[in-house]
Chains A and B, each alone.
Chain A
């Protein structure tokens, strides 16, 4: 890896091995993600997708290797990376408005003795604008549709001001229209210069949605443009020959290219 690469790579993972037991969750992962890309992480269940996300957040114990965010060790770079959780574990009855959730993104910048100031409100409003949720600012979060709820949490991540956003399966369990709306927000964030890493499980849409794909199963099988990654030989190795499922993917590939 040259110094030039290092400078451009906002996320650099080098020789990362993480294990919880005799089987490694991640083995010898080396990966560098450049600024301003929309990156999808794909792989079968239990392939270590979530572990990779946690490693980038600096949450997991690494056996070997390093994870650098803008050249800084991930464990020391807390706050540079914003995380959007899965929709499941939220109390939707909680007395908080859309604006209140987005404002939480500013909390890490606020010292305990200060209330949010005008610049925080401005950042919060901009974030809501970016996910097109401005009109709902005063709405309680339980009164939103599933896709809108997802977008509020993306606004919170954007309000943190981080240049890197990690999203854990944002497209899980939403309908097609919502999926489009979320994708649109992701694309807007990318045009604003953010780098987005998205855990994704739907191979049929992966090529269409992402600039780059990461194919992992414990180790890195491929990283590159969708055409480079969605290759029959690679996928059959990773998904252990359950290829009938992919005939669709390749047909789509052929049609788009």
Chain B
């Protein structure tokens, strides 16, 4: 028992763990909140692109600071550089898709690989001047988080969250209905740029922790998890932030216990969390969906039960008797239960009887069935097929159609088998 508690409290005492937990949580919260807008606007690919494009900015920032001020690996310089490249990349993507027939997804693909490649070439050429560990850039290092990183991410988070909260309604409407937003005079192009700048800021501050490849996961996975649980954007953002933090906490423990890469552990945890919610979510989850399908009483079965009961004219009918008359009786018991709750039938001495409401419904079905039989005979359907076809057609029984058939056939009183057609109710 003590070892179990130790497993949780132990790492909490370590300074590096505290710092990682704090830094990564801050980044995860803001990434998840912005991620909600990214998910709703289907910009996931853009988030991925921005994180890759950054490497050119990191190298550029490094080089400029070193050349001009002689500073080695200056963090603010690299941060600013990556932010500039991110914005430049977004601008290029917008430019290409605006002036040509190239669609946006292709433009993103072209521009980010181009800028990323440029960064890689850059880093190779100046490898004697700038010391960037490409591996670090790609994988991130959440446990080696520095004080500067912590401050940078805190400032980024505060700024971005303030913007999102202040202009929540603007972002909401621009994501939901951009044309309407423009028509009421909102500057949607500006909002677009503000949002992509926010995404760039978040991506830049998250890359040092989880790395280029996983950063898009931090952006969208908690947001998508929240999406499955909410019907309001504000709630979705709140839940996303929560899932961001749980991903970070769960991931960091995994990382310490199993001694694995921090970024990988965080994203594995986030993905597992998503899958659990995907299965269990009360409305949009797999189990809920499966239950909904199971609970639905097939209309045909309901009609068959009512039809069987009315033909037995008031006598209680047991399940076994019903099975004889109903061609596909799968799920009969569940359906009967549901029909009792809907007050169509009542249980009587081991069998079932129609209620008043059930009898009315049954009489409508019987009228439809027998009118269709008469109609089918009228148009020359072979006698052997009349009953089966009418059985399928009896679900069509709106008043207008029934009145039409009735007058077309000259208001018949009996069907081709001589049974009485119930009058209109």
Q: Are B404 and A28 in contact (CB under 8 A)?
A: yes
**Chain B residues positioned under 8 Å from A172 (CB to CB):** none
Interface residues of B in 367-419 (CB under 8 A from A): 375-376, 379, 381, 389, 392-393, 395-398, 400-401, 404-405, 408
Known: A24-B401, A27-B401, A93-B101. A17 touches B408 (CB 8 A): no
> What's the interface size class on A, roughly?
10 to 19
A105 → B minimal CB distance (Å): 25
Given A22-B398, A23-B401, A27-B401, verify A64-B376 contact (CB < 8 Å).
yes
B376 near A219 (CB under 8 angstroms)?
no
- Which residue of chain A has the shortest Cβ distance to B399 in the bound complex? A23
State whether A63 touches B392 (Cβ < 8 A): yes
Contact across chains for B379 and A218 when beta carbons are under 8 A apart: no
**Contact A64 to B404, CB < 8 A, known contacts A22-B397, A23-B398:** no
Q: Is the CB of B404 within 8 A of A63?
A: no
Enumerate A13-41 residues with CB–CB distance to B below 8 Å: 14-15, 17, 19, 21-24, 27-28
Dominant secondary structure of chain A at its interface with chain B = strand
**B interface residues, tally (CB under 8 Å):** 18
A27 and B404 alpha carbons, distance in the complex (Å): 9
Contacts of A219 in B (CB 8 A): 404
Please tell me if the beta carbons of B400 and A19 are within 8 angstroms of each other in the complex. no
Q: Is the CB of A218 within 8 A of B396?
A: no
Q: Using an 8 Å CB-CB cutoff, how does the interface string of A205-234 with B read, 1 for contact, 0 for none?
A: 000000000000011000000000000000
In the complex, what distance in Å separates the CA atom of A22 from the CA atom of B395? Answer: 6
Please report which residues of chain B, range 331-380, place their CB below 8 angstroms from some CB of chain A when the two chains form the complex: 375-376, 379
Which chain A residues border B401 with CB–CB below 8 Å? 23-24, 27, 218
Please, how many angstroms separate the alpha-carbon atoms of A15 and B103 in the complex? 48
Is A19 in contact with B396, judged by CB distance below 8 angstroms?
yes
**Cβ of A63: which chain B residues have Cβ within 8 Å of it?**
392-393, 396
In whole angstroms, how far apart are the Cα atoms of A93 and B97 in the complex?
A: 12
A218 touches B389 (CB 8 A): no
Closest CB in chain A relative to B164 CB, distance in Å: 34
Residue contact A23 to B396, C-beta cutoff 8 Å: yes
With a cutoff of 8 Å between Cβ atoms, the chain B residues found around residue A15 in the complex are 379
Inter-chain contacts of A17 with B (CB < 8 A)? 393, 396
How many angstroms from the CA of A206 to the CA of B410 in the assembled complex?
34
Specify which chain A residues have a CB less than 8 angstroms from the CB of B392 in the assembled complex: 63
Residues of A within 8 A of B375 (CB): 28
In the bound complex, residues from chain A placing their C-beta under 8 Å from that of B389 are 64
Q: Measured between alpha carbons, how far is A15 from B376 in the docked complex, in Å?
A: 9
The chain A residue sitting closest to B393, CB to CB, is: A63
A18 nearest in chain B by CB position: B396
| Given known A28-B404, A28-B408, A93-B101, contact A64–B398 (CB-CB < 8 A) | no
> What distance in Å separates the Cβ of A43 from its nearest Cβ neighbour in chain B?
15
- Residues on B with beta carbons closer than 8 Å to the beta carbon of A23: 396, 398, 401
In contact, B400 and A22 (Cβ under 8 angstroms): no
CA distance A28 to B392 in the complex (A): 15
How many angstroms between the C-alpha atoms of A161 and B405 in the bound complex?
Answer: 40
A21 to B375, CA, bound (A): 19
Q: What is the CB-to-nearest-CB distance from A12 to chain B, in angstroms, rounded to a whole number?
A: 14
A40–B287 alpha-carbon span in the complex (Å):
49
Residue of B nearest to A65 (CB): B379
Measured between beta carbons, the chain B residues less than 8 angstroms from A142 are 101
Residues of A within 8 Å of B379, CB to CB, are 14-15, 64-65
The answer to whether A22 and B101 touch (CB under 8 A), given A15-B379, A27-B401, A219-B404, is no
Q: Measured between C-beta atoms, what is the minimum distance from B409 to chain A in Å? A: 11
- Pick the most buried of B103, B396, B398: most chain A CB atoms within 10 A of its CB: B396
Is A64's CB under 8 angstroms from B393's CB? yes
CB-defined contacts of B398 to chain A, threshold 8 Å: 22-24
A218 pairs with B408, CB closer than 8 A: no
User: CA of A93 to CA of B106 in the docked complex: distance in angstroms?
Assistant: 14
The CA of A248 and the CA of B404, in the complex, are separated in Å by 30
Q: Name the residue among A19, A64, A93, A218 with the largest chain B CB count within 10 angstroms.
A: A64
Contacts of B397 in A (CB 8 A): 22
Cα-based distance from A120 to B223 in the complex (angstroms): 54
Q: Which residue of chain A has the shortest Cβ distance to B376 in the bound complex?
A: A64
> Which of chain A's residues have a CB closer than 8 A to the CB of B393?
17, 63-64
Chain A residues closer than 8 Å to B395, beta-carbon distance:
19, 21-22
Alpha-carbon gap, A142 to B100, bound state (A): 13
Mark contacts of A229-251 with chain B using CB atoms, 8 A cut-off: 1 yes-contact digit, 0 otherwise: 00000000000000000000000
- Distance in angstroms from B273 CB to nearest chain A CB is 38
Distance in Å from the Cβ of B61 to the closest Cβ of chain A?
38
Q: What's the least CB distance linking B85 to chain A, in Å? A: 29
B99 to chain A, nearest CB (A): 13
| B400 touching A218, Cβ below 8 Å | yes
A6 to B287, CA, bound (A): 55
- Enumerate chain B residues within 8 angstroms of A28, measured Cβ to Cβ: 375, 404-405, 408
Taking the closest CB of chain A, its distance from the CB of B394, in whole angstroms, is: 10
CA A30 – CA B184 in complex, angstroms?
51
Q: Give Cα distance in the complex from A83 to B405, angstroms.
A: 32
15 of the cross-chain contacts (CB-CB < 8 Å) are: A15-B379, A17-B396, A19-B395, A21-B395, A22-B398, A23-B396, A24-B398, A27-B401, A27-B404, A28-B404, A28-B405, A63-B393, A64-B376, A65-B379, A93-B103
A17-B396, A28-B404, A93-B103 are known contacts; what are 14 more A-B pairs with Cβ within 8 Å?
A15-B379, A17-B393, A19-B396, A21-B395, A22-B396, A23-B398, A27-B404, A28-B375, A63-B396, A64-B376, A64-B379, A65-B379, A93-B101, A218-B401
Interfacial residues, chain B to chain A (CB-CB below 8 A): 101, 103, 375-376, 379, 381, 389, 392-393, 395-398, 400-401, 404-405, 408
Listed from nearest, the 9 A-B pairs whose CB atoms lie closest are A93-B101, A15-B379, A23-B398, A19-B396, A24-B396, A27-B401, A24-B401, A63-B393, A22-B398
